[in-house]
Structure 1
Amino acid sequence: MSERRRATQGALALLPVFPLALLVGRVWLMGNGDPQTMILLIANLSPAGLMVVLFGSLLWMVPILLLTARLAEGYRRISDPSGGWPFGLNLRVPLWLTGVAACVAVLTWQLRYLPALGAILVVIVALGFREAYPGNRLLILATGVGLPVLVLAAEYYLIFVDAVEAAVLDGQAVTGLLLLLPPLLAVFLTGPLPAFAARPAILLPALSVLILVPMLITTSYLRAPLLPLVAIEVTTEEGQEPFPPVIVGYVITAQDHVVTVMDREGAVVFVGSDRIGGQVLCPASGDDEEPAVAFLGWPADRSLIDQLLPEADTVETDRRCQGRVRSTVTDAAGGP
Structure 2
Amino acid sequence: MTAPAAGDAERPMGTRAQQQWLLTLLPAFPLVLLVLRLWYLSRQDLATMLLLVQYVSPLGLLTSLTIALVWVLPTVVLLISAFGTLLLVSARSEEDACRSLLAVIAKRMPGWTVVIAVLLAAITWEMRFLPTLLLLVLMIAGLNTWRFRGDDRIVLLCMGTALPIAVAILAYVWLGPAIAAAWRADELVNVVLLGLPPAVAPALTGPVPATVARLGTHWVAVAVSIVAPFAVGVLFMRVPVLPDTAIETRAGVVFAPDRDEPEGDIDVWRGRLITVDDSMVTLMDADGRVRFIPSSEVLSRTLCPEAEQVPSSAVYVQGWYAEDTALEWMAPKQRLTEPDPRCLGRPVRAE
Select the residue among 71, 74, 78 that pairs with 1:67: 78
Alignment of 1:203-222 (within 5 A): 203-222=218-237
C-alpha spacing 1:140/1:246, structure 2 compared with 1 (3 Å): same
Map of 2:97 onto structure 1: 84
Shift of 1:28: 0.4
Q: 1:70·1:98 contact (CA, 8 Å) conserved in 2?
A: yes
C-alpha spacing 1:286/1:166, structure 2 compared with 1 (3 Å): farther
Select the residue among 271, 276, 280 that pairs with 2:302: 280
Shift of 1:31: 0.1
Map of 1:271 onto structure 2: 293
Q: Which amino acid aligns with 1:295?
A: V
Map of 1:334 onto structure 2: none
C-alpha spacing 1:298/1:139, structure 2 compared with 1 (3 Å): same
Q: 1:163·1:294 contact (CA, 8 Å) conserved in 2?
A: yes
Map of 1:248 onto structure 2: 270
Q: Which amino acid aligns with 1:56?
A: I
After TM superposition, the structure 1 stretch with the greater mean CA deviation from structure 2, 4-13 or 75-84, is 4-13
Map of 1:333 onto structure 2: none
C-alpha spacing 1:175/1:271, structure 2 compared with 1 (3 Å): farther
Select the residue among 123, 146, 150 that pairs with 1:107: 123
C-alpha spacing 1:310/1:194, structure 2 compared with 1 (3 Å): same
Map of 1:321 onto structure 2: 343
Q: 2:252·2:267 contact (CA, 8 Å) conserved in 1?
A: no
Q: How many aligned positions are there?
A: 327
The reply on whether 1:231 has 2:242 as its aligned counterpart is: no
CA distance in 2, matches of 1:51, 1:178: 31
Q: Which amino acid aligns with 1:76?
A: L
1:50-104 Cα deviation digits (max 9, x unpaired): 2222333443211222111111222122211412244655222222211111111
After TM superposition, the structure 1 stretch with the greater mean CA deviation from structure 2, 113-122 or 70-79, is 70-79
Identity of aligned residues (%): 33
Q: 1:231·1:281 contact (CA, 8 Å) conserved in 2?
A: yes
CA distance in 2, matches of 1:62, 1:220: 15
C-alpha spacing 1:191/1:13, structure 2 compared with 1 (3 Å): closer
C-alpha spacing 1:310/1:71, structure 2 compared with 1 (3 Å): same
What secondary structure is seen at the aligned counterpart in 1 of 2:130? helix
CA distance in 2, matches of 1:239, 1:25: 30
Q: 1:65·1:210 contact (CA, 8 Å) conserved in 2?
A: no
- Identify unmatched segments of 5+ residues in structure 2: 1-7
The reply on whether 1:186 has 2:197 as its aligned counterpart is: no
The reply on whether 1:33 has 2:49 as its aligned counterpart is: no
Alignment of 1:117-266 (within 5 A): 117-158=133-174, 160-236=175-251, 242=261, 245-266=267-288
Q: 1:249·1:261 contact (CA, 8 Å) conserved in 2?
A: yes
- TM-score, scaled relative to structure 1: 0.84
1:106-148 Cα deviation digits (max 9, x unpaired): 1222222111111111111111222322233333222222222
1:225-247 Cα deviation digits (max 9, x unpaired): 11001223344269986469433
CA distance in 1, matches of 2:343, 2:185: 28
Q: Which amino acid aligns with 1:43?
A: Q
CA distance in 1, matches of 2:226, 2:312: 33
Map of 2:28 onto structure 1: 17
Q: 1:57·1:217 contact (CA, 8 Å) conserved in 2?
A: no
What is the aligned-residue RMSD (CA, Å)? 3.0
Shift of 1:324: 4.6
Q: Which amino acid aligns with 1:123?
A: M
What secondary structure is seen at the aligned counterpart in 2 of 1:270? strand
CA distance in 2, matches of 1:205, 1:156: 29
